A and B are shown apart, each in its own frame.
Chain A
Amino acid sequence: MSLTKTLHPDEKIKAGKLGKSLTKVGLGIAFVFLGISLVLGAMHPDGHMRRFLYAYVIGWSYIFSIAIGMLWLIILHHLVRGRWVTVVRRIAEAMAGAMPIIFIAGLGFILPLVFGYKDLYYWAHPDAHDPAINHTMLHKLGWLEPNFFAIRYVFYGVALSFLAHYFRKKSIEQDTTGDPKISETLRIASGPAMVLFALVTCFVAFDVLMSMSPKWYSTIYGVAFWGSGCVGAFAAFALLTLAIQRTGRLTRSVNPEHYHDMGKWMFSFTFFWAYTAFSQFMLQWYGNMPEETVFYKYRMFGEWQWVSIAVLVGFFAFPFVFLMSRWTKRIVPALVFFSVWQLVFHWLDLYWNVMPNYDWGTQFHEDTKLVLGPLTGNTAFHHVAFSAVDITVWIGLIGVFLIGVGRNLTGNLIPVKDPTLGLSLAHENQ
């Protein structure tokens, strides 16, 4: 029994064709499902590809949140001199490395916006400037302006892609040089990187998702989005690692101890998400101010309450109780079940954030006899209507994500010369 181990000489650590085949699978999924989605979107009765674009924002946020979860793990690993991640870090780096592809895919909803598409974000609609119905959001329209929005989007994409690329490139460089100073460099870089990461992630959440309900605001929104994303990220991390082991690679290096830690993270973020989401809800519910409760009004009452309850139970209560045990994290079928479960409910959480805003139209308030603008919380105007295109776009964009991951699965699947590799291989949970 020792605190470090050396890599087993027969271990298969070369990616070989793995990346190429994953890219092919991703390409296939993306083409088929996004193709179907385009057809379904064009056929959708609401017209203007509106449903398609809403589903696209959800799907994009989904793959984006998974990539930032992994990017966060890499930065944190360097920041705190983590150990257990080292052996699987290449996989996390490959997932975070999908960032450029994700941001290119995001142009699918950014470009229509820039070219004058009015029906995706309400703030891009001419009605938004009507002071009679929208006086509570007029001051936000300077920030929420399509061209400025697109410029910020490019900045976010460049910043996050750079971070993902930098940490991966340096790590690969160490494979050949074996220079332990590289670990030191990355540790120094990880501090500022974490700050940049946190700010950019927060603002992506504000811009892409929170501005869907432009009359509302919540400062914790970015944190809750990141927490939700990390649940999905660690679920995807565990599944991808298991899949790679099924191909005969890394079989001697990655063991239940590492899966246990992935499961722990998934568990803790399940709770963290619930904590932040409840913090957001609780203060606004108790404060009872119209500009804050509007977001919850049409999610808590009316048709959407059933989706809210499904998210609460499915994304938090049920997995929370079962992931608490160490065995659900160590026994592979249980871990697979809960990873898939959380990946589905992470999507439902994003769906719940975006889709209730789909129905907007002029509303009339009976009590005050006032004409209200859209998204003011009248439950009668917000309907749950699952559509096939919601699902197909989601799957298609998962294909896009797999393309991004596959491109990065090259060379060594383990950072062979990392000084902490021995500790990671011998990692044990008490």
Chain B
Amino acid sequence: MSTTEHHDDPVEPVLPEHGDLYGVLAEYDTPGELVEAARKVRDAGYTEFDCYSPFPVHGIDEAMGIKRTILPLLIFGGGFAGTVGGLFLEWYCNAYRWGWNISGKPTWSIPANIPIGFETTILLSVLTTFFGVWMLNKLPQVWHPFFRSDKFAKVTDDSFFIGIEAKDRRFDVEATEKLLKDAGALEIEKVYLDPDPAKKKLPKWIMAFIVSSTAFALVPLVIAAKARNSKSSEPHIHIFPDMDFQPKYKSDQAMDLFSDERENRGELDGTVSRDPASLKADEAFYYGLDNGAWITGFPKQLDIDQRLMDRGKSRFNIYCTPCHGYDGQGMGAVPTRVARGGGTWSVRDLTDNSKPPSHAVITMPNGQLFNTISNGYATMMGYAGQIPHRDRWAIVLYVRALERAHNASIDDVPADQQKGIR
């Protein structure tokens, strides 16, 4: 590198041939020799050395005097945190913070929550394993001074190396080399650091990659944050349009295939039901009618007792409470939630007696109430397909009890129990 002809150029410093000595590298022929040599190096008292091999060598840990890893303990901790954390998340979301009545099922039960607890256990164990291995091995390490040795490339192919670093307090070039040679090394090489101190820095393109990929990873978060804090009149994005818009007909949709433009074809002539109950000869039990008028009592085959009342309560709490609420006054989970979002979802108060008779459930005959449960009313759908007849009558009974309870006076309570109620 000549500087004599270009006087204007800045003078480049002349670099020495080598940097500081980093360590010595010894090559061995077989994994067996590597293990034996490692044992000798360990016995000589060296600590700052490592073995390099194309594949895991059994027994090398013991030969090098490496302590057993604490990784299993870390993984156990991670897995345990996964179990507890997963179960807590489920309990907090489903049972505590946003409890939701789904068909009267309990909001919290252990069996339903085990699969997620299991998954989070696996997830956190695996993540702990993955990152634990990196951390305990001081990774990522993109470069190592031993890479400056050309021979060292064979370590990924068919050769085995021991490298002793110069910073070891027992390191002495000649003695160390002799030790490695006596242990059967094929060849020994001194490895120096690069003379150019700039080479020690992280290359710019790696840094650029880290910064840009991190920035890129933030894009979805930014989109989500924008969506949360702005309003849009566009329909929401359909990620799976074929699942949102399925090529099928739902009951009672319009359909131009038939002249009456109805999709529901009804029963064909001569259809015979498989269910003897659906012959429905008993008008009172199956329709709540007696000679065309709503019945006011209950069908004769029902025993009006505590058992029927309990049945009615449990069915009511499953099917009716999402809208009507547990007290029947119309503020169930659905209207409450709609109201929270600023809308209205008006639900009939089953116990109200202030409305005109035509609108009050309380004045309906039992038969009409039964019919409403069966076939629906306004936006309320019919429950004939979901609730058997007997259970619908049980609900009628329970609704009657709710109405009675809400409009009760102190005189309804037996005299000997009035004391203490206020």
Contacts and interface: CB of A to CB of B under 8 A. Distances in A.
Verify that A and B bind, or say they do not: yes
Interface of A: 1-3, 278, 281-282, 285-286, 324, 326, 367, 428, 430
Interface residues of B, number: 16
6 contacts: A1-B35, A1-B59, A3-B31, A282-B112, A430-B56, A430-B58
Interface in B142-159: none
A286 B58 contact: no
A281 B115 CA distance: 12
Contact of B76 (A1, A2, A324): A324
Contact of A282 (B59, B72, B115): B115
Interface of B: 31-32, 35-36, 56, 58-59, 61, 63, 72, 76, 111-112, 114-115, 307
Contacts of B58: 1, 3, 428, 430
Contact of B112 (A2, A3, A286, A430): A286
B35 A285 contact: no
Considering residues A3, A285, A326, which has the most beta carbons from chain B within 10 angstroms of its beta carbon?
Answer: A3
A286 B59 CA distance: 49
A278 B59 contact: no
A324 B36 CA distance: 32
Nearest to B61: A430
Given A1-B36, A326-B72, A428-B59, 6 more contacts: A1-B58, A2-B32, A281-B111, A286-B111, A324-B76, A430-B58
Contacts of A1: 32, 35-36, 58-59, 63
B67 to A, nearest CB: 14
A285 B59 contact: no
Contacts of B35: 1
A265 to B, nearest CB: 18
Closest 8 A/B residue pairs (Cβ): A1-B35, A1-B59, A428-B58, A2-B32, A285-B111, A282-B111, A1-B32, A428-B59
A1 B38 CA distance: 11
B114 A278 contact: yes
A326 B112 CA distance: 32
With most chain A CB atoms within 10 A of its CB, the pick from B111, B112, B307 is B111
Majority DSSP secondary structure for residues of A touching B: loop
Contacts of B61: 430
Nearest to B68: A326
B243 to A, nearest CB: 22
A149 B40 CA distance: 68
A199 B151 CA distance: 55
Contacts of A282: 111-112, 114-115
B147 to A, nearest CB: 27
B54 to A, nearest CB: 14
A430 B307 CA distance: 65
Contacts of B112: 282, 286
Contacts of B56: 430
A261 to B, nearest CB: 14
B141 to A, nearest CB: 22
A197 B56 CA distance: 35
Contacts of B59: 1, 428
Nearest to B69: A430
Nearest to A286: B112
A2 B58 CA distance: 9
Contacts of B115: 282
A198 B87 CA distance: 35
A326 B76 CA distance: 13
Nearest to B307: A367
B94 to A, nearest CB: 14
A326 B68 CA distance: 12
Contacts of A430: 56, 58, 61
Contacts of A428: 58-59
A341 to B, nearest CB: 21
Contacts of A367: 307
B172 to A, nearest CB: 27
A367 B311 CA distance: 10
Nearest to B30: A2
A367 B307 CA distance: 9
A282 B63 CA distance: 49
A328 to B, nearest CB: 13
B276 to A, nearest CB: 14
Nearest to A300: B111
Contacts of A326: 72
B81 to A, nearest CB: 15
A214 B347 CA distance: 48
B366 to A, nearest CB: 22
Contacts of B63: 1
Interface centre among B56, B58, B63, B76 (most CB of A within 10 A): B58
A428 B32 CA distance: 14
Interface centre among A1, A2, A324, A367 (most CB of B within 10 A): A1
A293 B63 CA distance: 57
Nearest to A366: B307
A196 to B, nearest CB: 32
A325 to B, nearest CB: 8
By CB atoms of chain A within 10 A, which of B32, B35, B59, B76 has the most? B59
Which residue, of A281, A428, A430, has the highest number of chain B Cβ atoms within 10 A?
A430
A141 to B, nearest CB: 23
A2 B115 CA distance: 44
Contacts of A278: 114
Contacts of A324: 76
A286 B105 CA distance: 10
B316 to A, nearest CB: 17
A262 B115 CA distance: 28
A241 to B, nearest CB: 22
Contacts of A2: 32
A3 B115 CA distance: 42
B124 to A, nearest CB: 15
A278 B118 CA distance: 11
A231 B90 CA distance: 32
A281 B307 CA distance: 30
A367 B111 CA distance: 27
A330 to B, nearest CB: 12
Nearest to B76: A324
A2 B56 CA distance: 13
Contacts of A285: 111
A282 B112 CA distance: 7
Contacts of B76: 324
B162 to A, nearest CB: 14
Contacts of B307: 367
Contacts of A286: 111-112
A281 B110 CA distance: 12
A368 to B, nearest CB: 9
Contacts of B31: 3
Contacts of A281: 111
